[in-house]
Chain A
Amino acid sequence: KQEVTQIPAALSVPEGENLVLNCSFTDSAIYNLQWFRQDPGKGLTSLLLIQSSQREQTSGRLNASLDKSSGRSTLYIAASQPGDSATYLCAVSTGNQFYFGTGTSLTVIP
């Protein structure tokens, strides 16, 4: 069974700092990997989706990379802002199944 791990579980950084969130998965046979943001008491908002054939995707200050062979993905957030404070989850798709990590809780301190 696919297992998805996110490290660290929590991260606190000062405003303006660049940061990297990590996601690892045990089975490299994936269709795609997706990064989500979840605000307290809210649903998940998709940030970036990387197909298995792709190496990275960028959206604004966010850049996600995928190394399928090593079972790793990173989410890079540039020039962090207090509004970036949320829980970030990665999810891998193996076709009909979707596996989520437990998330990294990010706090950006003004």
Chain B
Amino acid sequence: DAGVIQSPRHEVTEMGQEVTLRCKPISGHNSLFWYRQTMMRGLELLIYFNNNVPIDDSGMPEDRFSAKMPNASFSTLKIQPSEPRDSAVYFCASRRGGVETQYFGPGTRLLVL
């Protein structure tokens, strides 16, 4: 298996632009997670999907952030409009079942100028 796939791996954009991050979970996994990692705040859970349905989005920082999972093999995290404080590494992770381990993607490094 190719593991969790994220794209792009790096993104540099200007403040105010829309940013879309993409994730393909491991086949057969029914839960998907979006995390953000910064030096100041560490790793934070943004949103969690189970069987393509958002279960908990309490970690989404504000309305500028939105996430979708139209099917079991694809999810997007969108930031519109982007701000410099959104600069971070964004990770996607997936798992099978409710108690299995999470498998992380390589992350997307986002820099908003």
Contact = CB atoms under 8 A, between A and B. Distances in A.
B42, B100, B105 interface centre (most CB from chain A within 10 Å): B42
A100 B99 contact: no
A13 B43 CA distance: 26
Nearest to A47: B101
A85 to B, nearest CB: 19
B76 interface: no
Q: Is the interface of A mostly helix, strand, loop or mixed?
A: strand
Nearest to A4: B42
B69 to A, nearest CB: 15
Interface string A29-42: 00110101000001
A102 B33 CA distance: 18
A63 interface: no
A34 B43 CA distance: 14
Contact of A46 (B44, B58, B91, B102): B102
A96 interface: yes
Given A32-B99, A34-B101, A96-B55, A44 B91 contact: yes
